[in-house]
């Protein structure tokens, strides 16, 4: 890794440069299994300053990072009420990440989303992935994209299945509601699903339609809720 080599070839460091070099070195020293599976982003190192919600954080250098492969309930905007488990998801990420050194790993073909946020598999100092931890604890759900690293996809789907089966975090309440027993329609192309009566579901090409008998079936198949026709309950 070029950044790692630079650490040992630089002989004149200011205090600020030395601090940055130590952060880069931290990324270089993550477990070999992590580095073999994914490539660090060009500027991989950082320290978490704050968490906006359960899937987006800001580093001390002002970069905004979206955790790859997951989504969490919306915290509410424009006077709308927060969705169920939005507050808990933000608190979970805050407890895991705030003030921590992190390393940003590539999660797919694109390194930024349409909002200009960095999309990365964010690793803590011990090599654990924040996306993994949020899914594992039932504080987030798997959010697939076609260009995602297949190793990341496999990991997150497996962790979500465990969290669902053990009803961790948000799953206990969500899957106890009547909406959990309704029918849903998935789009095989986008890997999103809709309530069966959602008008947008009728626009899915017949060859791309997938039918799910329950909400759990849709999540276990690796699909995520579409942004339209929201069914997610509000925060009590």
Convert the pLDDT of each residue in 67-83 to its tens digit: 999 999 999 877 789 99
What mean pLDDT comes out for the span 132-143?
A: 99
pTM: 0.86
- Residue 161 predicted with pLDDT over 80: yes
What pairing do the DSSP bridges indicate for beta strands 224-225 and 192-195?
A: parallel
CATH number of 2-176: 2.40.50.90
Quick one: pLDDT at residue 10?
Answer: 47
Q: For the chain, what are the domain ranges?
A: 2-176
Going from the C-alpha of 82 to that of each of 56, 85, 86, the distances in angstroms are 16, 8, 6
Quick one: pLDDT at residue 77?
Answer: 76
Going from the C-alpha of 186 to that of each of 61, 141, 201, 229, the distances in angstroms are 39, 16, 8, 13
Query: 2-9 and 15-28 helices cross at what angle (nearest 10)?
Result: 140
Nearest to 104 by CA among 182, 41, 191, 47: 41
Confidence of residue 137 (pLDDT cuts 50, 70, 90): very high
What mean pLDDT comes out for the span 186-206?
A: 97
Handedness of CA 216, 144, 49, 11 (dihedral sign): positive
Quick one: pLDDT at residue 23?
Answer: 56
């Amino acid at each position: 890794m070029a950044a790692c080599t630079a650490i040992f070839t630089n002989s004149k460091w200011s205090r600020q440069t030395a601090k940055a070099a130590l952060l880069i070195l931290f990324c270089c020293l993550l477990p070999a299994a992590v580095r073999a599976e994914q490539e660090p982003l060009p500027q991989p190192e950082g320290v978490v300053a704050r968490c906006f919600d359960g899937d987006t954080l800001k580093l001390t250098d002002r970069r905004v990072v979206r955790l790859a492969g997951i989504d969490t309930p919306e915290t509410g905007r424009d006077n709308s009420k927060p969705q169920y488990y939005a507050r808990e998801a933000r608190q979970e990420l805050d407890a895991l990440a705030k003030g921590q050194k992190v390393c940003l790993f590539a999660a797919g073909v694109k390194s930024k989303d349409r909002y200009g946020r960095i999309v990365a598999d964010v690793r803590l100092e011990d090599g654990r992935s924040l996306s993994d931890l949020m899914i594992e604890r039932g504080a987030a759900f798997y959010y697939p994209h076609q260009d995602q690293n297949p190793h990341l996809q496999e990991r997150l789907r497996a962790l979500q299945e465990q969290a669902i089966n053990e009803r961790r975090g948000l799953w206990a309440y969500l899957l106890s509601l009547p909406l959990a027993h309704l029918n849903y329609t998935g789009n095989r192309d986008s890997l999103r699903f809709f309530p069966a009566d959602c008008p947008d579901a009728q626009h899915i090409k017949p060859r791309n339609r997938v039918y799910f008998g329950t909400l759990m079936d849709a999540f276990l198949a690796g699909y995520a809720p579409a942004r339209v026709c929201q069914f997610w309950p509000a925060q009590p």
